[in-house]
Amino acid sequence: MSKEITSRSEDYSQWYIDIVKKAGLADNSAVRGCMVIKPHGFAIWENMKAQLDKMFKETGHVNAYFPLFIPKSFLSKEAEHVEGFAKECAVITHHRLMNDPNGNGVVVDPSAKLEEELIVRPTSETIIWHTYKDWINSYRDLPLLINQWANVVRWEMRTRLFLRTAEFLWQEGHTAHATKNEAVEEARLMQKIYAQFAEEYMAMPVIQGRKTANERFAGAEDTYTIEALMQDGKALQAGTSHFLGQNFAKAFDVKFLNQNNKEELVWATSWGVSTRLVGGLIMTHSDDQGLVIPPKLAPLQVVIVPIPKPNAEIDEAVEKIMRELKAKGVSVKYDTDKKKRPGFKFAEYELIGVPVRLGIGKRDLANGVVEVARRDTKEKSSQSLEGIADYILQLLDDIQKNLFQRAVDYRTEHTTSVDNFDDFKSVLDSKGGFVSAHWDGTTETELKIKELTKATIRCIPNDGVPEDGKCILTGKPSKERVLFAKAY
Amino acid sequence: MSKEITSRSEDYSQWYIDIVKKAGLADNSAVRGCMVIKPHGFAIWENMKAQLDKMFKETGHVNAYFPLFIPKSFLSKEAEHVEGFAKECAVITHHRLMNDPNGNGVVVDPSAKLEEELIVRPTSETIIWHTYKDWINSYRDLPLLINQWANVVRWEMRTRLFLRTAEFLWQEGHTAHATKNEAVEEARLMQKIYAQFAEEYMAMPVIQGRKTANERFAGAEDTYTIEALMQDGKALQAGTSHFLGQNFAKAFDVKFLNQNNKEELVWATSWGVSTRLVGGLIMTHSDDQGLVIPPKLAPLQVVIVPIPKPNAEIDEAVEKIMRELKAKGVSVKYDTDKKKRPGFKFAEYELIGVPVRLGIGKRDLANGVVEVARRDTKEKSSQSLEGIADYILQLLDDIQKNLFQRAVDYRTEHTTSVDNFDDFKSVLDSKGGFVSAHWDGTTETELKIKELTKATIRCIPNDGVPEDGKCILTGKPSKERVLFAKAY
């Protein structure tokens, strides 16, 4: 089965598509650019969602739900927002179908034209800030810390399963604050939470930084980002958190009475991660045999395969192992299907990324052992049945850490400091990855570099140190390095 | 605060709206017919969702996600389905906006017209069965037991928060089976699960039954329903499960090779419950002081109010109670706000439906007691601090049972058997509720009765007993009673 997967070295893009489709994660649909998220892919997203939701709630956020549709006029209210966003979107113009007078199914009823067109939300700042006007009157109503889990639509021309789709699932936090400081702190806190989630749960190391003016969210005063590196040396923007200043409060006239009874405009943030994370997870860890999922997010953590098939003796031993594992909160399945041979099952579980596989045969039992295979390194070993549950618990933890370390090592090897444009181009053309370089701080230079190399500034790292240098393109003075990469 | 709520006896509809708005459950939005679900309302829905999701998974279902949009042509494929459904819906005709050449914000870009219009899903049978064609080849691919949590849109003309909105949140199960029997069993199983959820978690008693041909889902061969009774004597259809026969398999050409290597059409079910359940929960239990939530679904189960305000001694006692309650899985909040007086807080927690309220003052502490108020009966009692956590746990259970029993009693009082049309009308006009009566089995009579009385046949109860009788309208022979009511 693994033979059907194109190898990464042969064609990385095709490898990605093969993994997504053959591991049962997602598929294209009848609607251009929209995907079907299949049960295995959705289970990973559900695990991500559950953990993120917990982290949001622990930091004081609550969930709510706002309308799918946005009146067209709302989009024009925040000038930069509409410039950056609102153009490619799904526009609803009518609210009724009717039988085709010629008998060919249904047609749009021309008499059911909407007075004002509705847009399927590409993001919800406008409809939410319109609502916040009713909810916020006094400093006592602040802060407002709200998150929404929702589907959004952006009419992307070139789509790729999970990474860029016309419809995608995400969460969008929208908070309102009495002071600038508090809003900036909130935006930074959410960046930190995203980074923690990416590293501890997805085992995907990320660089935390700020976006340049050119790469900022439309309508934001500052965009904080987490940037990951995929196995082909391209960067993936994995989550962003925006300090929106008072831009949306101005656009929607949202003011509050402060403690001195004076009217002030409200300060805002928004932040989001999406099903794109599933794409990031796939590309960070998987190999030519299939999907690799970090144990903390794996829908199924352990599978037990009887060799060559189930029998009373094996069943009994497995029953005991499963009971112990379940008691420790580990998800486990016993594959008793007699129609498939063990070798076929092994390949199948490798393909869908189950972190640990146990094989148990009659001879193993006689020797009091079981064969344990780990998905990340594909190492197999014989382990004593005595204390096997504890061993597996430790192994799952090892795999989680190993995946993270492997990704960190890859990133370290693929992060290069350069000091001139020739080196810059040559690194991008050869090994790719992040390139740390000086830049003169202008959008003009940034765009010129993008035009020449396709590399963009991924971020100005939070942990950057002041350093005098010269812009790799213009030679103008620079005070700190920024991180370039080609990106998804 | 409770004074602002219209009483049920004065105006039941206004009472409902007052509860929804003042308890912070939902609000109207800028988009006609679409609601904003506020944090408190959404927290109730989240609790419902978590429990339902657990029950679906325990019965072998998995979640997936299908596109929001449906190509217009799909809707015409199942003739009855399009008749019953597809007319009032949101139609997407364009995919781009552009700056208004006259400088007035944005307008639809006429050059971005879609070749085929897309419909925002009113329900997903068509797009899902189009997908199933690719997923199902052999009997080995069956059964397919898939559920989706999603938003759907039906362009309703008369909307009411939670009960009937243009956009609503729901789950829709879509299963595929090799045999008719298996599909019928699945549809009945989901009816049973819905009933169990309604009664055990929402404390809302329901009648399980079948819909008449006239009230069936468009495209179904049989619709199983759960019907609840609200406090104004009107029925609420709370969930439906459909046996779809082979209608969608025919429409989308979904066949499988059976064990004898012969091609057969696949059998289908679909089933759903929605945010309408939140409306049902409100109307089943709440009173003139505000919302009443069954403890099993309450976002906050216990609130502790210091009297008159927090101090070190009270804080210490509360800390201990909270620790014990949390250890038992009870959600609890200590309201230390010094700006509000206890009386104000009491009214506020009554309004938002917290099941148990503790009041603790200095004198109580000296006597080793605490004042416990239960939301359902509004009874207060003084309870020993010793063993208070166990007492509260039992109390939450009592409240859950009491709410259910109260609703059962109400329904019993408001279910009447009648044998002639005069009695039928008089019961409907006076006490309302369910009316059990004989009917001749024809759609014609059913519609005539609806025209004359506004009452519809809610269902043919599952537990109905064969009984010879005469139709209340036509006098024609009937073999069993059916349940009529005016309905939401």
Q: Taking residues B457-476, what's their average pLDDT?
A: 97
Determine whether the interchain pair A75/B120 forms a contact, defined as Cβ–Cβ distance below 8 Å.
no
Within 8 A of B73 by CB-CB distance, chain A residues are: 105
C-alpha dihedral sign at A460, A466, A467, A473: positive
What's residue A77's pLDDT?
Answer: 87
User: In angstroms, rounded to a whole number, what is the distance separating the alpha carbons of residues A357 and A374?
Assistant: 6
What's residue A334's pLDDT?
Answer: 98
Q: Within an 8 Å CB–CB cutoff, is residue A138 touching chain B?
A: no
A301-325 in b/e form (b: 16+ CB < 10 A) is bbbbbbbeebeeebeebbeebbebb
Contact between A104 and A229 under an 8 Å Cβ cutoff? The reply is no
Taking all residues of chain B, what is their mean pLDDT, rounded to a whole number? 96
Contact between B458 and B259 under an 8 Å Cβ cutoff? The reply is no
Q: Which of A135, A228, A171 is nearest to A56 (CA)?
A: A171
Per-residue DSSP letter, A29: -
Within 8 A of A42 by CB-CB distance, chain B residues are: 62-65
Q: What's the pLDDT tens digit per position in B396-417? A: 999 999 999 999 999 999 999 9
Nearest CA distance, B69 vs chain A (angstrom)? 7
The answer for B 404-463 residues in CB contact with A (under 8 A) is: none
Question: Which residues on adjacent β-strands are paired with residue B374?
Answer: B356
User: In angstroms, rounded to a whole number, what is the distance separating the alpha carbons of residues B112 and B361?
Assistant: 68
Contact between A144 and A132 under an 8 Å Cβ cutoff? The reply is yes
Q: Which residues contact B390 (CB under 8 A, 6 or more apart)?
A: none
Determine whether the interchain pair A29/B131 forms a contact, defined as Cβ–Cβ distance below 8 Å.
yes
> For testing the chain B interface, which of A56, A65, A136 should be mutated: the one with the most B CBs within 10 Å?
A65
Nearest CA distance, B289 vs chain A (angstrom)? 23
Contact between A309 and A338 under an 8 Å Cβ cutoff? The reply is yes
Pairing of the two strands B26-28 and B35-37? antiparallel
The owner of tokens 């014989």 is A382
Q: Taking residues B268-287, what's their average pLDDT?
A: 98
User: In angstroms, rounded to a whole number, what is the distance separating the alpha carbons of residues B238 and B220?
Assistant: 18
> For testing the chain B interface, which of A48, A95, A259 should be mutated: the one with the most B CBs within 10 Å?
A95
Q: Within an 8 Å CB–CB cutoff, is residue A218 touching chain B?
A: no
Contact between B149 and B173 under an 8 Å Cβ cutoff? The reply is no
CB under 8 A, 24+ apart: contacts of B420-425: B420/B472, B421/B472, B421/B473, B424/B453, B424/B455, B424/B472, B424/B484, B425/B452, B425/B453
Within 8 A of B86 by CB-CB distance, chain A residues are: 97, 106
CA atoms within 13 A of residue A347's CA, in its CB half-sphere: 11
Q: What's the pLDDT tens digit per position in B38-56? A: 999 999 999 999 999 999 9
User: In angstroms, rounded to a whole number, what is the distance separating the alpha carbons of residues B304 and B336?
Assistant: 9
Pairing of the two strands B144-153 and B62-63? parallel
* pLDDT surpasses 50 at B258: yes
User: In angstroms, rounded to a whole number, what is the distance separating the alpha carbons of residues B286 and A264?
Assistant: 38
| Phi, psi dihedrals of residue B119, rounded to the nearest 5° | -110, 135
Q: Which of B453, B370, B461, B472 is nearest to B415 (CA)?
A: B461
> For testing the chain A interface, which of B45, B54, B73, B95 should be mutated: the one with the most A CBs within 10 Å?
B95
Amino acid in the structure at residue B388: I
Within 8 A of B93 by CB-CB distance, chain A residues are: 91-94, 108
Q: What's the pLDDT tens digit per position in B197-222? A: 999 999 999 999 999 999 999 899 99
User: In angstroms, rounded to a whole number, what is the distance separating the alpha carbons of residues B187 and B183?
Assistant: 6
Q: Taking residues B122-147, what's their average pLDDT?
A: 97
CB nearest A91 (choices: B63, B88, B93) = B93
The owner of tokens 């207060």 is B380
The owner of tokens 């068509």 is B126
- Taking 50 as the pLDDT cut, the residues of chain A under it are 1-2
Report CA-CA distances (Å) from A228 to A274, A410, A411, B399. 14, 11, 9, 51
C-alpha dihedral sign at A213, A218, A224, A225: negative
Q: Which of A462, A294, A270, A486 is nearest to A376 (CA)?
A: A294
CB nearest A65 (choices: B37, B89, B146) = B37
What's residue B1's pLDDT?
Answer: 43
User: In angstroms, rounded to a whole number, what is the distance separating the alpha carbons of residues B41 and A455?
Assistant: 46
Q: Within an 8 Å CB–CB cutoff, is residue A57 touching chain B?
A: no
Contact between A125 and A146 under an 8 Å Cβ cutoff? The reply is no
> For testing the chain A interface, which of B106, B253, B348 should be mutated: the one with the most A CBs within 10 Å?
B106
The angle at the Cα of A319, spanning A316 to A320, to the nearest 5 degrees, equals 95
DSSP characters for B108-171?
A: E-GGGEEEEEEEE-SS-HHHHHHHHHHH--BGGG--EEEEEEEEEE---SS-BTTTB-SEEEEE
A&B contacts, CB < 8 Å: 189
CB nearest A96 (choices: B87, B105, B127) = B87
Three-state SS at A255? strand
What's residue B214's pLDDT?
Answer: 94
User: In angstroms, rounded to a whole number, what is the distance separating the alpha carbons of residues A176 and A174?
Assistant: 7
Contact between A351 and A357 under an 8 Å Cβ cutoff? The reply is no
Query: How far from each other are the two terminal CA atoms of chain B, in whole angstroms?
Result: 28
Cβ neighbourhood burial of B455 (10 Å; 0-12, 13-18, 19+): buried
Per-residue DSSP letter, A49: H
What's residue A303's pLDDT?
Answer: 98
What's residue B3's pLDDT?
Answer: 56
Length of chain B: 488
Q: Which of A203, A270, A284 is nearest to A239 (CA)?
A: A270
User: In angstroms, rounded to a whole number, what is the distance separating the alpha carbons of residues A281 and A291?
Assistant: 9
Within 8 A of A86 by CB-CB distance, chain B residues are: 97, 106
Report CA-CA distances (Å) from B277 to B187, B223, B449. 19, 18, 27
Nearest CA distance, B51 vs chain A (angstrom)? 14
Three-state SS at B244? strand
Q: What's the pLDDT tens digit per position in B315-348? A: 999 999 999 999 999 999 999 999 999 999 999 9
Q: Within an 8 Å CB–CB cutoff, is residue A42 touching chain B?
A: yes
Within 8 A of B119 by CB-CB distance, chain A residues are: 97
* pLDDT surpasses 50 at B247: yes
Nearest CA distance, B32 vs chain A (angstrom)? 10
CA B226 distance to own-chain centroid: 10
Contact between A76 and B91 under an 8 Å Cβ cutoff? The reply is no
What's residue A3's pLDDT?
Answer: 55
Contact between A207 and A226 under an 8 Å Cβ cutoff? The reply is yes
pTM over 0.90: yes
Q: Within an 8 Å CB–CB cutoff, is residue A297 touching chain B?
A: no
Element (H, E) at A4: none
Give the residue from chain B lying closest to A61, CA to CA: B39
Please give the torsion angle defined by the CA atoms of residues A71, A77, A80 and A82, in that order, rounded to the nearest 10 degrees: 20
Contact between A221 and A244 under an 8 Å Cβ cutoff? The reply is yes
C-alpha dihedral sign at B278, B283, B284, B289: positive
